[in-house]
């Protein structure tokens, strides 16, 4: 009876620990955000396990059922499409319910996109705040005003089709000359890290629409 949270590679399939592969092989059931994505990873490591979808659209509906199965003695491993479960991905709700029901929870160390992004950005990484995805509408401007006063390095996630707009808004709110970095497709073939002012980054990605997973790193207020 146990829940394991297993970080999955953010791009390169080789970025998974020996222990993570071992736990996936021993688990009774693997919970995954998207069975198609997770099947590629498991097939790569020759792991054959029952896969159960667990994502933002069904987690409230099935969480109690999963808890009951673990109480019955089963060991579950939770993976998401990329990175560590619970970090801008499903996971928190299940962890909370397991703790309430005295089910052991163990998170393995491993891939998380914002760590390599901030380290290779050249922006100070001794103190930082991770905000994940900004609100799409309600509260978006208010959040940006708060970030404008943040003295620690700021880390955000963003989708490629919203990147240029978000960078433009950040430049207007935090200052056009604020230093930032855009890290794209980390660990993949076309990995890119571009550092400049927020204004210049906004102009670049408006002219060169990006693809892939994106992390934005922004210097704190001086």
pTM of the model: 0.92
Helix count and strand count (H, E) for the chain? 8, 10
Q: Which CATH architecture has domain 2-107?
A: 3-Layer(aba) Sandwich (3.40)
Q: Could you give the residue range(s) of every CATH 3.40.1010.10 domain in the chain?
A: 2-107
Q: Could you give the residue range(s) of every CATH 3.30.950.10 domain in the chain?
A: 114-218
Segment 53-65, tens digit of pLDDT: 999 999 999 999 9
Kindly give the parts of the chain with pLDDT less than 50: none
Residues near 87 by Cβ (< 8 Å), separated by ≥ 6? Answer: 112, 114, 130, 132
Segment 73-86, tens digit of pLDDT: 999 999 999 999 99
Q: Nearest CA to 186 among 131, 111, 132?
A: 111
Q: Kindly report the CATH number that applies to the domain delimited by 114-218.
A: 3.30.950.10
């Amino acid at each position: 009876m146990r829940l394991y949270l297993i970080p999955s590679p953010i791009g390169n399939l080789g970025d998974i620990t020996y222990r993570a592969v071992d736990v996936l092989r021993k688990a009774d059931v693997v919970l995954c955000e998207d069975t198609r994505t997770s099947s590629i990873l498991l097939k790569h490591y020759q792991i054959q396990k029952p896969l159960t979808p667990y994502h933002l659209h069904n987690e409230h509906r099935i969480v109690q059922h999963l808890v009951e199965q673990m109480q019955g003695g089963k060991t579950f491993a939770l993976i998401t499409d990329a990175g560590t479960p619970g970090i801008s991905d499903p996971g928190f709700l299940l962890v909370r319910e397991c703790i309430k029901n005295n089910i052991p929870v163990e998170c393995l160390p491993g891939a998380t996109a914002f760590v390599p992004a901030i380290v290779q950005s050249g922006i100070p990484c001794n103190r930082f705040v991770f905000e994940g995805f900004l609100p799409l509408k309600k509260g978006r401007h208010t959040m940006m005003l708060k970030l404008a006063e943040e003295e620690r390095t700021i880390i955000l996630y963003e989708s490629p089709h919203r990147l240029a707009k978000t960078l433009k808004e950040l430049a207007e709110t935090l200052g056009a000359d604020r230093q930032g970095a855009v890290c794209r497709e980390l660990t993949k073939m076309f990995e890119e890290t571009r550092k400049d002012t927020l204004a210049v980054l906004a102009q670049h990605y408006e002219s060169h629409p990006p693809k892939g997973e994106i992390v934005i790193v922004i210097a704190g207020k001086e």
